[in-house]
Structure 1
Amino acid sequence: MSINRGAQVDLAGAVWRKAGTGAGKDSVEVALLEDGHVALRDGKNPDGDVLIFTPGEWAAFTAGVHDGEFDRP
């Protein structure tokens, strides 16, 4: 993942949503940013680190999820 070539990404206006069907505090949260980037954070630690994906990286990541690339054996 890149972080906009090391630049700070402004998350002040980010609208966070729970990813998937889990409604609990332990879920992952996703925000679609104005510049096309996608932010991902831990729902139980919203003030912690945030992963930032470029549009291409997000497409590759979600394709991998759909293909089962990250499923446990």
Structure 2
Amino acid sequence: MIEESASSVSETELERARWHKSTYSGSNNGCVEHAILTSGHHAVRDTKDRTLGAHTFTPAQWQAFVTAVRDGSL
């Protein structure tokens, strides 16, 4: 299942993605994984239940999110 936040990303692209667990993930199973897809989009998913799918973002959306987190506006 794909949870679309950006433009369409194929199921195959998500299946082939190289997922990386966040280094900020806690010990209480509050973990997320991130992948940069071959299309250049970014994807994020919950490691506790990967069947829920992934949220996908365009490079510009991802950069805006990262900037907002870093500068404290989010």
TM-score (norm 1): 0.77
* One-letter amino acid matched to 1:60: A
Percent identity of equivalent pairs: 34
1:61 Cα deviation after fit:
0.5
Could you tell me which residue of structure 1 aligns to residue 16 of structure 2?
13
Q: Please list every run of at least 4 consecutive aligned residues from structure 1 whose deviation after the TM superposition is greater than 3 angstroms.
A: none
TM-score after normalising by structure 2: 0.76
Task: Give the Cα–Cα distance (whole angstroms) in 1 for the partners of residues 44 and 9 of structure 2.
Answer: 15
- Give ranges in structure 2 of 5+ residues lacking alignment: none
Q: CA RMSD in A?
A: 1.7
Which protein has the bigger helix share? 2
Count of paired positions: 67
Give the unaligned 5+ runs of structure 1: none
In structure 1, C-alpha distance between the alignment counterparts of 2:31 and 2:44, rounded to whole Å: 11
TM alignment of 1:1-73, pairs within 5 A: 1-2=5-6, 4=7, 7-9=8-10, 10-22=13-25, 24=27, 25-70=29-74
